[in-house]
Amino acid sequence: MSVVSPKLILVTGGTGYIGSHTVVELQQRGYKVLIADNLSNSHIDVLERIEKITGIHPHFVKVDLTDKDATRQLFTDYPVEAVIHFAALKAVGESVEKPLEYYRNNLDSLLNLLELCREYQIKNFVFSSSCSVYGNTSALPIDENTPLQEAQSPYANTKKIGEDILRDTAKVSNLNITALRYFNPVGAHSSALIGELPLGTPLNLFPVVMQTAAGKRDKMLVFGNDYDTPDGSCIRDYIHVMDVAAAHVAAIDRMTKGQQKSRYELFNIGTGTGLSVLEIIHAFERVTGEKVKHEITGRREGDVVKIYADTSLANRELGWKATRTLDDMIHSAWKWEQQL
């Protein structure tokens, strides 16, 4: 058994993109961290990179969270006080092609963790949700009371079902649960030691823009220019990954201090500003001076037309606000891409 100081936060998926940035933020705020990850979409060398930034090598266990016995061993071996659950398959397009894989992975892992939290009397749980649960809604900006429309992909549906499971669990347990619906995390740590590094072909906009500008791909595709938006391309609320990381720490702080107003709380994590795909491409060209060769193609199945957040609830209750600009997002993402 590993002996670790108390106040230990279990971060599932902690070697992944948002997970690794959150581990950095937690460690810099004095929390001890245990990372659990199966490394299906991340690299083990992230641990060394985190150590270079924070001076602390996080505890790490390679584990498949859909394996309940293996997951139980984490709780047996370590004095876990709270869980931040990132680990999930997350590619929208792939989820359309492999729905069963997504439902199995994303829901079994959540159910196992919740059952073990109950068994080991863990009190606090933060869930990585997504703005994709809102579906194609016409009510903008979106606040936490905006009715959810039909999920546009199996991935989005796993987040929606996950929230239902958490809400029902909170009603009948002593578990405090915070679900963070984040919009589109982008950018990288200012050190350029960690950033977004999808294994295989990236599907998110920022890595595609960066790789195109860096010459790793001949051109990028813009999926649709005939949507009901000012320039015809899809609109999203892009937020710096370090702002997203800070929101998780704010949620953990709130729960460990007993400041929650109900067992289940839900917050939008975004900037409140919607930007189109073409606007991002033009902003990147302006900030870096690099050209991004792109071609308009047909719409992509599963894409929501436009979505951006009303974040006033998180600003007020979590005492959190996104502070980094679009230029900060582009600068950090490009610096990360160049060191790759």
How far is residue 114's CA from residue 310's CA, in Å, rounded to a whole number?
29
Q: Who's near 97: CB < 8 A, 6+ residues apart?
A: none
Along the 340 residues of the chain, how does pLDDT read in single tens digits? 444 555 799 999 999 999 999 999 999 999 999 999 999 999 999 999 999 999 999 999 999 999 999 999 999 999 999 999 999 998 888 899 999 999 999 999 999 999 999 999 999 999 999 999 998 888 899 999 999 999 989 999 999 999 999 999 999 999 999 999 999 999 999 999 999 987 677 778 999 999 999 999 999 999 999 999 999 999 999 999 999 999 999 999 999 999 999 999 999 999 999 999 999 999 999 999 999 999 999 998 878 888 899 999 999 999 999 999 999 999 999 999 999 8
- Dihedral in degrees, nearest 10, Cα atoms 214, 199, 107, 136: 20
Q: Look up the CATH architecture of domain 8-186+239-269.
A: 3-Layer(aba) Sandwich (3.40)
How far is residue 193's CA from residue 187's CA, in Å, rounded to a whole number?
12
State the pLDDT at residue 301.
80
Instruction: Name the token pair of 186.
Output: 């982008």
State the pLDDT at residue 37.
98
Residues, the chain? 340
State the pLDDT at residue 199.
67
CA Rg value for the chain = 19
294: left (phi over 0), alpha (psi -120 to 50) or beta: beta
In the three-class reduction of DSSP (H, G, I as helix; E, B as strand; rest coil), residue 277 is classed as helix
Instruction: Name the token pair of 27.
Output: 């460690």
Output the CA angle 186-187-193, nearest 5 degrees.
135
How far is residue 270's CA from residue 322's CA, in Å, rounded to a whole number?
7
* CB contact at 8 A, 268 and 131: yes
Active-site residue, from 17, 31, 155, 227? 155
How far is residue 274's CA from residue 307's CA, in Å, rounded to a whole number?
7
How far is residue 226's CA from residue 194's CA, in Å, rounded to a whole number?
36
Output the CA angle 45-84-12, nearest 5 degrees.
40
- Dihedral in degrees, nearest 10, Cα atoms 164, 130, 266, 112: 50
Report domain extents, the chain: 8-186+239-269
How far is residue 83's CA from residue 169's CA, in Å, rounded to a whole number?
15
Instruction: Name the token pair of 214.
Output: 């860096």
How far is residue 271's CA from residue 265's CA, in Å, rounded to a whole number?
19
| Largest Cα span, the chain | 58
Is 155 considered catalytic here?
Answer: yes
